[in-house]
Amino acid sequence: MPKKNLSLRNFASIESRITDYSSWTKDDLIKKIIALEQEILFKKKKNTYTEQYIFEDLNFSDKSSSSIKKPFLMSNYNQRYIAFKFAYLGWYYNGLVTQGNKTQLPTVEETIFFALKKAKLIDHERNCNFSRCGRTDKGVTAIGQVMALNVRSNKPFNENSEEKWSEIKYIDILNKLLPKTIRILAWCSDLPSDFSARFSCQKRHYKYLFFKDSPNVQLNIEKMSKAASYFIGKHDFRNFCKLDTSKQITNFTRIITRSEINKYNTAEENDSLYVFDLEGTAFLWHQVRSMIAVLFLVGQDLEKPEIIKTLLDTSKTSQKPIYNIAHDLPLILYDCHFQNLNWNYGEETFSQSLYKNIYDLWHTAKIQNTIIDLLLKNIQNNKIPNNIITKKVIIKDGTGVNQSLTKYVQIENRKKENNYKNAKNK
């Protein structure tokens, strides 16, 4: 269709509709500008809220009324304080907690908050009374992480109302919005008014996976188990953590209720996969990775099991010796224990969907693992000369490559960190 040419008559018609502002006062002009700006904002809002939302559960629009949706106001809806149990694969994220600065990878919380706001379950993370159980660093996975917050609810404002209602399907809605690497597992609504995902947690359970045998390194599990047992009880762990200067922590005393090395049961009989099981009331920053790092040194006969006692005795070791912590990838926040929480795991259809999603991730990883295993077996015939292997000291660090040193220095003889001078025993 050819474009229509604007004739002089058209221009004259347009010009006749333009208001002559030359005689207007300053106040009248300002009022006119404000009115025009408000009109523009209204049109933008009108365009924004005409978008259809994908979930019927949300019930934001009245199909019998105008197609233009009203702005969403949380005050128009009831809210309830609930807890979510969720899991995530740490290697896809830059840790759990939302950072103030931009990071190469997203954080778990910013991804979850995006989904919560997309589903109109919250309006902003600052307004939802949010708390988390355990903070995990970049690369660390969680299977039983917990958070608590206020979310939108279908519950009537009048508790005595006889009106029938059904609650929002929180798990289903959020898992449709979240990537497969983050899954909401369950939710709980019967929370005390003073419940905190952080302070109400009675026990946290961590697991650290490692192989007993790897190239150039064979671990003594018996000695590691003996050393691990020394962690049990109430101790000062200032020599097994990294100081968080932003929190100004002065109390490094923590209670460990379980600390043991176990064989990880797999289908492969010759698999040398083990797990460091650790349970306690609370943990310091990098505490678990520091503990397993020293246990690796014991397992390699580079340190005696009693080095644990020495580092826990702050009268003998008042400042932390410098040593590298273990890698983040094998660390898992396995579970968070709370008293009298009844978790709702959703309907059977949700369980099937969750299993399919997790199985898909497992299947992909298993195929990738098998391919790499075939490659490894293919090159095993290329023997490495022993004189190359024994040139350096190999230090187990939780990775497949490990660290290599020309000379090993005992922990007690190493330089000390200066970060703990102001620490106090409480």
Q: Distance between CA 208 and CA 275 in Å, rounded?
A: 5
User: In the prediction, which pLDDT does 7 show?
Assistant: 52
Give per-residue pLDDT as tens, 187-204: 999 899 899 999 999 999
| 325 Cβ neighbours under 8 A, 6+ residues apart | 242, 286, 289, 290, 293
Instruction: Give mean pLDDT, residues 220-228.
Output: 97
What are the residue numbers of the active site? 137
Q: Which CATH class is domain 203-330+402-413?
A: alpha beta
Residue 150 binned pLDDT confidence (cut-offs 50, 70, 90): very high
Write phi, then psi, for 9 (nearest 5 degrees): -65, -40
The residue behind tokens 């098998």 is 370
Q: What is the mean pLDDT of the chain?
A: 83
Give per-residue pLDDT as tens, 290-315: 999 999 999 999 999 999 999 999 99
pLDDT at 387 over 50: no
Instruction: Let me know: does 78 contact 157? Beta carbons within 8 Å.
Output: yes
Measured N-to-C along each axis, helices 348-379 and 170-177 cross at an angle, to the nearest 10 degrees, of: 40
Give per-residue pLDDT as tens, 81-97: 999 999 999 999 999 99
Domain ranges of the chain: 26-71, 203-330+402-413
Q: Distance between CA 253 and CA 423 in Å, rounded?
A: 11
